[in-house]
Structure 1
Amino acid sequence: MMMRFLKLFPSIMFLLLVYFSFALANSSSSLRQLCLSDENRALLQFRQLFLFDLNASRWCYRKYAKMVSWKEGTDCCRWDGIACDAITGHVIGLDLSCSLLHGTIYSHNCSLCHLSHLQSLNLAFNDFNNSRIPPCFGSFTSLIHLNLSYSNFSGEIPPQLSHLSKLVSLDISSFFLTPRCGRFFHNFSNDYNLHSASSLERLIHNFTQLRHLNLDEVSVNSIIPKSLMNLSALNYLSLWDCGLQNKIPADIFHLPNLQHLDLTFNPKLIGKLPEFFNDSSPLRLVSLAATNFYGEIPNAIAQLKSLEYLDLGSANFSGCIPESLGNNSKLSVLFLDNNHFGGEPPSSLWRIETLTGISLSLNTFEGQIPNNFSTHGVLSYLELFDNSFTGQFPHSIDNLAQLQYLDLSHNKLSGPLPSQVFGLSNLTHLDIGNNFLNGTIPSWPLTLPSLKELWLDGNQLTGSINQLHTSSKLQSISSSNNNLRGPIPTSIFNLRDLIALDLSSNNLSGIIKLDSFSKLRHLQYIFLSNNNLCGPIPTSIFNLRDLIELDLSSNNLSGIIKLDSYSKHRQLRYISLSNNNLCGPIPTSIFSLRELVQLDLSSNNLSGTMKLDSFSKLRSLNYLNLSHNSLTGFQLIPTSNMWPSLVFLDLNSNKLQGSLGSLPIPSETIMYYSVANNQLTGEISPCFCNKSNLEFLDLSNNNLKGAIPSCLSNSSILSVLNLQHNALDGAIPRMCSQANGISLETLDLSYNQLQGQLPRSLAHCKFLQLLNLGNNMLVDTFPTWLATLPKLQVLVLRHNRLHGSIGKPRSEVAFAKLNIIDISDNNFTGTLPSDYFKSWHSMTANDRNRSNWKFLTMSSRRFYSYTVTLIDKGLEMELVKILNTFKVVDLSNNNFQGEIPKSIGQLKALCALNFSNNHLTGSIPTELAKLKNLESLDLARNNLSGIIPPELASLTFLEVLDLSHNHLEGSIPRSRQFDTFPNTSYLGNPGLCGFPLSKPCGETEVTPQPSPKLDQTQNLESIIYDFDWKVVSIGYGCGMAVGVIMGNYIYNWKQEAIARFFRVRLGRHSKRLSTRRRGRK
């Protein structure tokens, strides 16, 4: 045996030697670094450019600093994000996506340029600080995949990238479509541009193998190049927000391998869906949202058998949804919102069992919402708001077990809500607001286990609010603008997750317990305005540290405002406690709210003085309304930069005393400044002239004196100047001189002591709508030169020293838009201006359709309420709100003579006509019977003769008639309307007889005496009626919204409108809760 072993020993030793030789070789090979040294150095050099920043990759679900493993002396092929060729050792793959990189890549000295064998490069989701794409990337001729998306690159895409002929995937996008139905999210943006279609064409013309192309938000700003149709291998194409224009090539829908087509947010891109699709088309996603695509959805849409996602929202599509769309059996998401679709959605649509999300909102769909949702087990998102759907709330929605989002708001749904719903256990958002739902609120909306947002606002719901389940997850509740009554349920104050509570504009009543809000630690928005809540403001509100907005206005809250805990509120920005019965001084603790933006304490009983040094701490304040209180003044002398952000300041209707200069000096940002209806004295400071943003200046109803600063005429933005009811004297400044004053829309200088002539520069006020210079001492002739103002609607020159004849108009459209003209109480002579009657075209339109009525408002500032004082029937009327249908002509108390022209009958829309106290002769023209809207007719104290035309009995809206002190004769016409006039309407006409006079017709006539001319110094009210009313109404026929003013009704309306306007202007929420989504166009 031994001998046999010895013979074999050499052979065994040889085999062992060979074995160990191979083992040693393999061992040395494994110890050798695979990474090439120059590429290793290049990568380490690249690493030195960056810091690690979590925000740089904030959109990544999984992110980490891959470069942490990049250490000198180690094999780069073993580093995170690096892939090497196993044979050559070259780096062929670099994936640094979501690597927290923040820094700058220098495009002409980039160390990555040494990685010439790269096949895949992914730098997505980092922050390269507006770096340019290195042109050397175009030298990576082996590159197959290139992804530079969401990395904050900028500048032009280097044309060298077109050399990458092997590219299969190119992504340099910076937007993405989220998988949920909430639509679009803007994220980290690149700022690429290609400038033109030719640039895009040069970039892609070599990409014959390209399958994936994503250029979202690359600025192409041109048409889609036809060469794109040559990319036959393309299966993914996304050109989101590229500025694409003009018509899209129809062949783009027929690319043989295209599965994903997204052209969203290219509003200048025009096209139609093709009438034909290949049955074999692989299209799975089509998004044309926010483009200018138009036309109808073709029946051929059913040929897209693979279609899963169709978004045509916010485009210009129209017509009906084709029945064939229901044949797309794989359809999962359908967005047709914000178009011009109409009719009833086809029943086949609701039979697509794969639908998970559908939006038909912002169209004109009608009919009932189908009640056959039983088969839609996967539907999670249903949005149908802003249509004309009718009927009741569909009961079958109860079957949608997976439903999470339901919005049926702004439709015409009616009837009560179902009493019970059991199947909506996953519902998080329910919006059925702004319909016509009635009845009480059932318990189920308040007890859904997953519900976070509940909107029931703008319906006709009644009854009380049910108690809520204490385990509710509700974060937002809105049931505003209903008819709910009773107290606020105590269970609401146990909703620990509640963020927003809106119960405004109901009939809720009762006292809110002082500790009610103590548990609502996350509450940010409280809206309880326009109810009947009473008692003091709950002190627990002031312990809510997250509170942002508080609106308790228009209730019956009383007591002192106790804000002892307000120093804790670092976020509180909006406070409205207006229209209550709060009293006492303004609490000093409110001035610790350094973030306060808007404060409205108007229409209360607040008193005392305001400490300016405290107000000066509110550096962010831009809206302050303290009007309609009993504040008496300010402490300390105001400085010029006290409120650097203030835009709106309203102190009107207080008891402010002292000089105007003692009030806060408006900042440069001021737009609206009102201290009207106080007891201020002194002169108007020229400081108002330097406010470049000042649009509204109201100093009316004070005791100001001196001249109007001439510099006010230099403002090019001033829109409203109201200085009425003061003691101002001197001449009127040259308003609208040359290019200045181009914005002036209303000028009211009435009830002052102004002298001189009307400034001819007023003829340049092209936007002037209201001019009131009444009750001054102006000496001039009739301003025919104002006749060309294209927007002038109200002209009041009453009670001045104007003289001469009116003359004839220079054109057929003189004062064409005029609705009210009052030149009474002057010394005009000659005949009545019959030719002007023919040119007042606005008074000839007879429109009694109330749907066309609107208040006289400034074109761009629709909140401002005009106040115009007129005399009618001897009574002073203050028209606080004027409808466009209210037409008045008052030429009374002058020296006009001659006959009443027949052309007066052309003013068919006239509501009030006053020719009294002149020297008119002749008969009353029968043409007055054509003024079918006439409510007041005053021809008293003239020398009119003849009979009262019986045709006047047809004026069925006539409420006030005065024909007294003329030379009329004959019988008084009888009609239902005429029989209501008292005998004072006919006094001083001895020749008249019949009802209501005691003189029957047929008796001997008494020789008529000349009618007395009324002395203009006499008191009109004492001669006609002994009324002490300031304001009277002359009916609804012309829609004049005036009446006997009681309390603060008129000003309350005015202030609410002003506040509402400026809150919008200052960026306040339209719905006030950011969670609510409305149209996207």
Structure 2
Amino acid sequence: MMIIWTLCLIFFLSDSTLVFASPAKHLCRPDQKDALWKFKSEFYVEGFHSDGTPVNKKTERWRNNTDCCSWDGVSCDPKKGVVVKLDLEDSFLNGPLRSNSSLFRLQHLRSLNLDNNTNLYGDLPDSISNLKYLRVLSLARCNLFGKIPSSLGNLSHLTNLGLSGNGFTGELPDSMGNLNRLRELRLDNNKLGGNFPLPLLNLTELTFIYLGSNRFQGMLPSNMSSLSKLVSFHIEKNSFHGSVPSSLFMIPSISELAMGSNDFSGTLEIGNISSPSTLIALSLPENNFKGPIPDSISKLVGLFYLDLALWNTEKATVDFSVFLPLTSLIFLDLSYINTRSMFDLSLFSSFMLLGYLDLSGNNLKISEPLSLPLPIGTLALSSCKIVEFPKFLQNQTILLYLDLSRNQIEGQVPEWLWSLPELRYVNISQNSFSGFEGSADVIQRSQMLLLDISSNEFHDPFPLLPNTTKFFLGSNNRFSGKIPRETCGLVSLESLVLSNNNFNGSIPRCFEHLSTSLSVLHLRNNSLSGVFPEESISAPLRSLDVGGNKLSGKLPKSLINCTSLEFLNLEDNNFNDTFPHWLRFLPNLQILVLRYNEFHGPISSPGGSLSFPKLRIFDISENRFTGVLPSDYFAGWGAMSSVLDIVDRMPSRFEGRDSGNYRNSVSMTAKGLTMELVGSGFTIYKTIDVSGNRFQGDIPESIGLLKELIVLNMSNNAFTGHILLSLANLSNLQSLDLSQNRLSGRIPPELGKLTFLAWMNFSYNNLEGPIPQGTQIQSQNISSFAENPGLCGAPLKETCGKKEEEATEQEQDEEKEEEEGQAFSWIAAAIAYVPGVICGLTIGHILFSCKPYWFVRIFHSFT
């Protein structure tokens, strides 16, 4: 026995030695490794966090001398050594996904995840169908565009398809109907259009459909119940119309229906639900439903989430008891349902799970004492005609968000409000509050993140805010004196809005303490004076408004560090500086208003083209600018040259509650009138106003490239030459003012063809010849042509002779030929602008690639 045990031990040890001494087995096949390595080389992956530290990217940790199956994001079949899963989410891949990409050589892939590579751009290639074994394809939040390729329908094994958050356009290909194993379809947040894709009705395995935030239209098919396994159906923020098919409610497995922000109308037919409904979420806000809320809502007893906001009951009465059976509700929004019914808030006291309640815009009765369910974390009672501060709120110990805006509450805000332990967001704007109970520091003891007290009657003393404050909105009150230095201690502050008060003195230099956080600073319409301190500029600034004060000196050049700046309004101050050419380095600038200051000198760039690719409002009127504008001055102003999607940052009813409902505003002169442009108005107007300066020479020919321009005001300068024929290219122009210049020649009759041009002014020039007989021109007031001694014809009293008319036609033909030639050259220059920049960057990249690594890193960080 001892001999046997000894032999066993020897064999065991020798075998173990062989095992541990042998090299590790390489699972990855050479062709798979080669394909992955070449795929990595197709992209530039350099990147840095906002603090300058390098980004940790998966592909950077790949090593060519190691087994590719051990690489980050790579999974293999252990028996065959082929790559079956590639997960490169958030890997900072920069570059196009090419049709001949090495990715498509990984033909055994079953799962591909490239989500959140926002610089991965271009069309989705047809060659995606090479990955014929794919079960999961996820390319969400990249920068892909164009049409979804029909070859996608060849991926017959596909169960999950995620293309959300891209720029795909057009209709879904019919071949999608071939994906008969598809369970999850996520196409939300694209630009897809057309009617509801009927091929989807053939995909009977579908459980999740997400088509929200697209451009779909038309009616939903009546036979939605053919999707017998559907669980979640999200089509919000489209343009679907007609009625909601009752067949949706009859699907046995249906759990979520989100159809808000469409154009659905008619009555809501839920149908005969015999068995308990599985529906737990029903969202129908912002549609065109009219009439009574259906009683059948009460059958959906399993609902956790119900949103019927903006249901138009047409001032009818509403029986709110219909909601009483829905005792499982956690979220309920019945805001702005347009009913004359008054209902008591105590109706909801039996909803023991209710955590979110929005009854804004209703005629509400609050009978004290009142006890609402303790789980309520969000309570919105805006525009409810409330006249007293609700005392029942003292018992809401877990209340997080409170909205009492747009009511009729007077007096002081009760001291006990700030002792609610979980309260973080308070909106009491647009009431008649005059102060705060208790000492000035009573609010400071809270953990407030947002406080909106705008549009009230608050006056001194200014409240001391807690250090946790991120958003403070105190505009349209009666605060006075200097801006309190205590605001500089709010190191987390992101939005400070103090417009339309009576503050005086200078802008605090201590704002430098907010340099890492402040993104919105609005101090409009106060009496602030002195220079704007350089150190008070915060690098994250997105919106800066100091209009309507008495600020002087130069514009702080530290603004050049604010690469996120979109809105800059300095109007109606005493700034005395030259034109800030360096603003062209701010890639996101959309609004630039310098009107009514003492800026002076030329506005053309001494160092090259002045390109503002995203600028939509350019107002430098009423200053002392001089010089001649180069003919190509407007050649690089892309947002005014083409149709671009404009994102309105102003919060809607459903958004912005975490950041405050501030509104950007500027004054604008259009159609001879000065108007206030507020909020969503910025998405409509694209304007140029250089009036009230001392410009000379010809109007730049490149103005004719700005086809999206709505308002053009070049009045009260010293422009000479003729009125450009290229102005007729501005097909969206509504207001044109060229008055009080030294323009000569004829008024081009082509301007009469601009169908939107409702207002024009040519007065006080040296124009001559007959006034064109177009409808748009003839409809103008006689004052629009005054003080042009050579003009004749209606609506003026001076008549024109036949010879003058013939000479006018001949001159206009000659001018048209000459200007068409010039226009062609500037159009060609504008077309060449973008490829020229790309070419330059490409050459620069090739040259700099020979430099040391640190130099390449600095170069790419800058670009």
TM-score (norm 1): 0.56
8 Å CA contact retained: 1:383, 1:408:
yes
Counterpart amino acid of residue 406 in structure 1 = T
**Structure 1 residues 879, 422: closer, same or farther in 2, change over 3 A?**
closer
**2:787 matched to 1:984?**
no
Give 1:985 deviation, angstroms: 0.3
Give 1:944 deviation, angstroms: 4.6
Aligned to 2:297: 492
Aligned to 1:743: 540
Aligned to 1:722: 522
8 Å CA contact retained: 1:542, 1:563:
no
The correspondence of residues 603-1002 of structure 1 with structure 2, limited to 5 A, is 604-639=406-441, 642=444, 644-653=446-455, 655-659=456-460, 661-663=461-463, 665-716=464-515, 717-728=517-528, 730-736=529-535, 741-759=538-556, 761-762=558-559, 765-778=562-575, 780-784=576-580, 786-787=582-583, 789-791=585-587, 792-802=589-599, 805-806=601-602, 809-814=605-610, 816-817=612-613, 819-826=616-623, 828=624, 831-835=626-630, 838-843=632-637, 847-849=641-643, 852-855=645-648, 865-872=663-670, 874-880=672-678, 881=680, 883=682, 886-894=685-693, 896=694, 898-903=696-701, 905=703, 908-909=706-707, 910-918=709-717, 924=723, 934-950=733-749, 952-953=751-752, 955-1002=754-801
8 Å CA contact retained: 1:516, 1:540:
no
Aligned partner (choices 383, 389, 398) of residue 595 of structure 1: 398
Aligned partner (choices 501, 523, 530) of residue 329 of structure 2: 523
Separation (CA, whole Å) in 2 of partners of 1:757 and 1:410: 50
Give 1:520 deviation, angstroms: 3.1
Aligned partner (choices 246, 255, 280) of residue 476 of structure 1: 280
Give 1:724 deviation, angstroms: 1.3
Give 1:616 deviation, angstroms: 0.9
8 Å CA contact retained: 2:346, 2:366:
no
8 Å CA contact retained: 2:304, 2:331:
yes
8 Å CA contact retained: 1:296, 1:318:
no
**2:319 matched to 1:548?**
no
Separation (CA, whole Å) in 2 of partners of 1:970 and 1:422: 71
Give CA deviations for 1:800-858 in whole Å, capped at 9, x if unaligned: 345x54375321134645544434334x27x54324x6444444775353x54455899
- Structure 2 unmatched ranges of 5 or more: 1-8, 28-57, 92-100, 116-123, 141-147, 805-863
**Structure 1 residues 495, 747: closer, same or farther in 2, change over 3 A?**
closer
The correspondence of residues 53-92 of structure 1 with structure 2, limited to 5 A, is none
Counterpart amino acid of residue 501 in structure 1 = L
Separation (CA, whole Å) in 2 of partners of 1:950 and 1:297: 63
Give 1:947 deviation, angstroms: 4.1
Aligned partner (choices 248, 254, 259) of residue 80 of structure 2: 254
Separation (CA, whole Å) in 1 of partners of 2:533 and 2:131: 70
8 Å CA contact retained: 1:961, 1:981:
yes
8 Å CA contact retained: 2:716, 2:740:
yes
Separation (CA, whole Å) in 1 of partners of 2:59 and 2:131: 36
DSSP-derived class of the 1:682 partner: strand
Aligned to 2:815: none
**Structure 1 residues 342, 761: closer, same or farther in 2, change over 3 A?**
closer
Aligned to 1:210: none
Aligned to 1:305: none
Give 1:549 deviation, angstroms: 1.4
DSSP-derived class of the 1:619 partner: coil
Aligned partner (choices 311, 314, 338) of residue 532 of structure 1: 338
Separation (CA, whole Å) in 1 of partners of 2:129 and 2:369: 64
Counterpart amino acid of residue 379 in structure 2 = I
DSSP-derived class of the 2:385 partner: strand
Give 1:699 deviation, angstroms: 0.9
Give CA deviations for 1:754-805 in whole Å, capped at 9, x if unaligned: 3445445555555444332222344x24334645543444433333345x54
Give 1:524 deviation, angstroms: 1.0
The correspondence of residues 972-1051 of structure 1 with structure 2, limited to 5 A, is 972-1002=771-801
DSSP-derived class of the 1:705 partner: strand
Counterpart amino acid of residue 449 in structure 2 = V
**Structure 1 residues 496, 247: closer, same or farther in 2, change over 3 A?**
closer
8 Å CA contact retained: 2:489, 2:513:
no
Give CA deviations for 1:172-219 in whole Å, capped at 9, x if unaligned: xxxxxxxxxxxxxxxxxxxxxxxxxx9995999xxxxxxxxxxxxxx9
Give CA deviations for 1:258-289 in whole Å, capped at 9, x if unaligned: 9xx986867699xxxxxxxxxxxxxxxxxxxx
The correspondence of residues 341-490 of structure 1 with structure 2, limited to 5 A, is 343=150, 358-360=159-161, 362=163, 366-367=173-174, 382-386=183-187, 391-392=197-198, 406-410=207-211, 415-418=219-222, 429=231, 431=233, 433-434=235-236, 440-441=243-244, 443=246, 445-446=248-249, 452-454=255-257, 461-466=264-269, 469=273, 471-481=275-285, 482-490=287-295
The correspondence of residues 233-244 of structure 1 with structure 2, limited to 5 A, is 244=71
DSSP-derived class of the 2:173 partner: strand
**Structure 1 residues 820, 342: closer, same or farther in 2, change over 3 A?**
closer
8 Å CA contact retained: 1:392, 1:413:
no
8 Å CA contact retained: 1:201, 1:227:
no
8 Å CA contact retained: 1:543, 1:568:
yes
Separation (CA, whole Å) in 2 of partners of 1:223 and 1:801: 58
Separation (CA, whole Å) in 2 of partners of 1:564 and 1:514: 21
Give CA deviations for 1:204-245 in whole Å, capped at 9, x if unaligned: 9xxxxxxxxxxxxxx99977999999xxxxxxxxx9xxx733
Give CA deviations for 1:1040-1080 in whole Å, capped at 9, x if unaligned: xxxxxxxxxxxxxxxxxxxxxxxxxxxxxxxxxxxxxxxxx
**Structure 1 residues 986, 338: closer, same or farther in 2, change over 3 A?**
same
Separation (CA, whole Å) in 2 of partners of 1:486 and 1:885: 33
8 Å CA contact retained: 2:153, 2:177:
no
Aligned to 1:577: 381
Separation (CA, whole Å) in 2 of partners of 1:518 and 1:906: 63
Separation (CA, whole Å) in 2 of partners of 1:684 and 1:793: 28
Separation (CA, whole Å) in 2 of partners of 1:552 and 1:296: 57
**Structure 1 residues 685, 967: closer, same or farther in 2, change over 3 A?**
same
Counterpart amino acid of residue 628 in structure 1 = Q
DSSP-derived class of the 2:778 partner: helix
**Structure 1 residues 163, 612: closer, same or farther in 2, change over 3 A?**
farther
Separation (CA, whole Å) in 1 of partners of 2:363 and 2:291: 19
The correspondence of residues 286-305 of structure 1 with structure 2, limited to 5 A, is 294-295=103-104, 298=107
DSSP-derived class of the 1:609 partner: strand
Give CA deviations for 1:386-442 in whole Å, capped at 9, x if unaligned: 388955487778xx8xx8x73344286975554696996xx6835364587765445
* % identical equivalent positions: 27
Give 1:527 deviation, angstroms: 2.8
Give CA deviations for 1:292-343 in whole Å, capped at 9, x if unaligned: 9942785xx7xxxxxxxx95263699758979989xxxxxxx9434259953
8 Å CA contact retained: 2:454, 2:474:
yes
Give 1:1004 deviation, angstroms: 15
Give 1:993 deviation, angstroms: 1.6
DSSP-derived class of the 1:941 partner: coil
Separation (CA, whole Å) in 2 of partners of 1:788 and 1:436: 38
**Structure 1 residues 718, 423: closer, same or farther in 2, change over 3 A?**
closer
DSSP-derived class of the 1:771 partner: strand
- Structure 1 unmatched ranges of 5 or more: 1-138, 144-161, 168-197, 205-218, 230-238, 270-291, 302-309, 327-333, 351-356, 374-378, 1006-1081
8 Å CA contact retained: 1:681, 1:703:
yes
Counterpart amino acid of residue 464 in structure 1 = T
**Structure 1 residues 951, 630: closer, same or farther in 2, change over 3 A?**
same
8 Å CA contact retained: 2:697, 2:718:
no
**RMSD over aligned Cα, in angstroms?**
5.1
8 Å CA contact retained: 1:832, 1:900:
no
Separation (CA, whole Å) in 2 of partners of 1:459 and 1:531: 16
Give 1:492 deviation, angstroms: 2.9
8 Å CA contact retained: 2:225, 2:250:
no
